[in-house]
Amino acid sequence: MSDPEDEAPWREPAVGAYWNASHLGLTGIERLRAEVDGRIPLSPISRLTGVKPTDGGAGTATFSMPATGWLTGSQGLILGGTLAILADGPLAAARGTALPPGTGLVTSELSLRFLRPVRVGGDLLALGTLVRAGRSIGLSHVRVIDGRGRMVADGSSMCFIRSIPPQGQGDPAPPTERNEPVVSPSSSHVLDPWQRPALGEVLGQELWDRMSALEIFPRAESWRAAQSADLFPDRNANRGCSSR
C-alpha cells in the first residue's frame, strides 16, 4: 500500500505562472482586470489553494477561495493563517489599482482579527478597500465573508510601493510559464490540489471532549501518531494496528 504522504501536493512540481514584462507594463487596475478575466494565467498559490481575484475597480478588489478540507487543522476548522493567504490578495490588489505601469508593491504588515470559526464548505470571499494611496506606502482594509454571508475576519495591511526595473536591470527574469497541470513522477493527478479530496486526519470531537490540548498535542507527533492505539483504540483495533 502506498504511503499517503507520497501523494502530498507539496511533493509535486509547482504549476502556475508569474507576471511577465507585458503584464508589468499595465497599470495596476488593468492588471487586476486582466487577472479577473483570465487573460493573465493563475499563479502557483492560486493553483494550490484555488484563491483568485473575482472582481475589481478603482480602490477595490474581491478575491475568492474554496473552503476545502485542505485548509483545515487537526480540529477540522479553517486555519487563520490560511485566511491570511486569501486576505493578502485583495489587500494588495486594492492598493494596486492606483499604481502606474512598471510599479509593484510588497506587503510590509498584515493584521487580521478572527471573528468566528470557519468550517469547510462553500467559497470564502475577501473584499479589499483602499484606505490611503501614498507615494511609497499604501494602506488598505479587508473583510472576509464565509459561504453563508457572515463576516469571519476583518483586517488591514500596509505595503511598500516600488518601481520594477526592466528585465536584466536588477530583477531576474520570470521563470518559464507553466500553466497546464503537470503529472508528477510520484502521482497520476492532473487536477489542481484544491480540486482533489483532502488528505490528512481531523481529530474527532470525542477526543477533544475527553482530553485537553495539553494532553493531545505532545502525543500527536504526526498524523500517524494521532491514529495510534492510545488515542483511537477502537479504530486501530478494527484496522489490526497495535499500540506503540
Q: Where are the domains of the chain?
A: 10-163, 199-239
**pLDDT bucket at 23, cuts 50 / 70 / 90:** confident
pLDDT digits (tens, 9 = 90+) for 51-88: 999 999 999 999 999 999 999 988 889 999 999 999 99
Q: Lowest-pLDDT range, 190-194, 199-203, 209-213, 215-219?
A: 215-219
pLDDT reported for residue 188: 47
Between 42 and 167, the more confident residue is 42
| Start-end of H helices in the chain | 21-24, 28-37, 44-49, 80-96, 205-210, 213-219, 223-226, 233-239
**Does the CA dihedral 91-82-121-49 come out positive or negative?**
positive
pLDDT reported for residue 182: 42
Question: What backbone torsions phi and psi does residue 241 show, to the nearest 5 degrees?
Answer: -90, 155
pLDDT reported for residue 218: 64
Superfamily of domain 10-163: Hotdog Thioesterase (3.10.129.10)
Nearest Cα to Cα of residue 49 among 203, 198, 201: 198
pLDDT reported for residue 186: 41
Q: Burial code of 129-149, b = ≥16 C-beta within 10 A, e = fewer?
A: bbeebeeeebbbbbbbbbbee
pLDDT reported for residue 166: 63
pLDDT digits (tens, 9 = 90+) for 105-147: 999 999 999 999 999 999 999 999 999 998 899 999 999 999 9
- What is the DSSP pairing of strand 60-66 with strand 103-114? unpaired
Cα-only R_g, the chain: 21
Q: Lowest-pLDDT range, 39-43, 59-63, 202-206?
A: 202-206
Q: Lowest-pLDDT range, 29-33, 77-81, 239-243?
A: 239-243
pLDDT reported for residue 148: 94
pLDDT reported for residue 169: 44
Of all residues in the chain, the percent with pLDDT exceeding 90 is 52
Nearest Cα to Cα of residue 139 among 101, 103, 102, 105: 105
What is the C-alpha to C-alpha distance for residues 20 and 27, in angstroms, rounded to an integer? 14
pLDDT reported for residue 54: 97
What is the C-alpha to C-alpha distance for residues 235 and 46, in angstroms, rounded to an integer? 36
Distances (CA, A) of 176 to 18, 49, 137, 172, 226: 8, 21, 31, 12, 41
pLDDT reported for residue 88: 97
pLDDT digits (tens, 9 = 90+) for 137-192: 999 999 999 999 999 999 999 999 988 876 544 444 444 444 444 444 444 457 88
Cα 62 to chain centroid distance, Å, stands at: 14
And the C-alpha cell for 87?
486576505
- Say which DSSP state 116 is in: S
